[in-house]
Homo-oligomer: A and B are copies of this chain.
Amino acid sequence: MDAAEVRVIGLLHPGEMGAAVGRCLTGREYEVIWASQGRGEATAARAAAAGLTDAGTIAQVARQADVIVSICPPRAALDVAAAAQGFGGIYVDANAVSPATARRIAAVVADGGASYVDGGIIGLPPEVAGSTRLYLSGEHAGAVAALFEGTALGACPIGPEPYSASSVKMAYAAWTKGSSALLLAVRALAEAEGVEDVLLAEWERSQPALAERHRQAAKSAASKGWRWVAEMEEIAATMEAAGLPGGFHHGAAEIFRRAQP
């Protein structure tokens, strides 16, 4: 595929991250379409604010788009790909899934006659340049990267290996979110054992950054932890498939499951 031939890009779905990515593309004068069917009002408002056009259904998106970018909760990624059956362009899965899940998604995509590009997003929803990277891998990674040229989203093609982008995302989040969950578990342990004050005093003396880091982790977990449960399970599966212990991230999934306010 040549990026110059791309006119219409499907964005499934315009959540907080997806809408920001869509806005990068509308900023480059691509027509970016989405599917309102089954989505809520908040999503519609975000899509409108980002300049996205409602195509109605995923089937319509599949019919009209040259490229589809899937940005959704990891648990939904396979279903979104299946719903886009009939699509024949380039399908970018940019979700936080294991290489094994990415492989299953790629098979569904290929079955439908489309080309799969693996993606992984690191950073906050892209508002300003330099804040966020979209790692891309696979045969058409370079063409997809070209769509984002000059936008706030730094697209990084990392080679032809089909699932490398997912591996990067898994490894990166394995530390950032895994260590946050560990910190939440540690403080919960101190609290359960009645030694929280002593631990906090010792942290203040020898680990002065931890109390603030805990505060941030608790805040993020309370507002977004529910989104991370499935991501942690995807990371645990990635660890286990690589012969490494899955326990860190099974534990992290459990901590985020409990963190919901």
User: Footprint of B on A, CB under 8 Å?
Assistant: 99, 122-123, 133, 135, 156, 158, 161, 164, 167-168, 170-172, 174-176, 178-179, 181-183, 185-190, 192-195, 198-199, 202, 205-207, 210, 238-239, 242-252, 254-255
Contacts and interface: CB of A to CB of B under 8 A. Distances in A.
22 contacts: A122-B202, A122-B206, A123-B206, A133-B202, A158-B198, A164-B198, A167-B193, A170-B189, A171-B199, A172-B199, A172-B202, A174-B189, A181-B248, A182-B182, A189-B238, A189-B244, A192-B244, A245-B250, A245-B254, A247-B247, A248-B248, A248-B251
Contact of A168 (B133, B161, B188, B199): B199
A66 to B, nearest CB: 27
A56 B216 CA distance: 54
A193 B99 contact: yes
Contacts of A202: 122, 133, 168, 172
Each complex incorporates copies of this chain amounting to 2
Contacts of A123: 206
B244 A247 contact: no
Contacts of A244: 185, 188-189, 192, 255
A217 to B, nearest CB: 11
Contacts of A206: 122-123
B167 A194 contact: yes
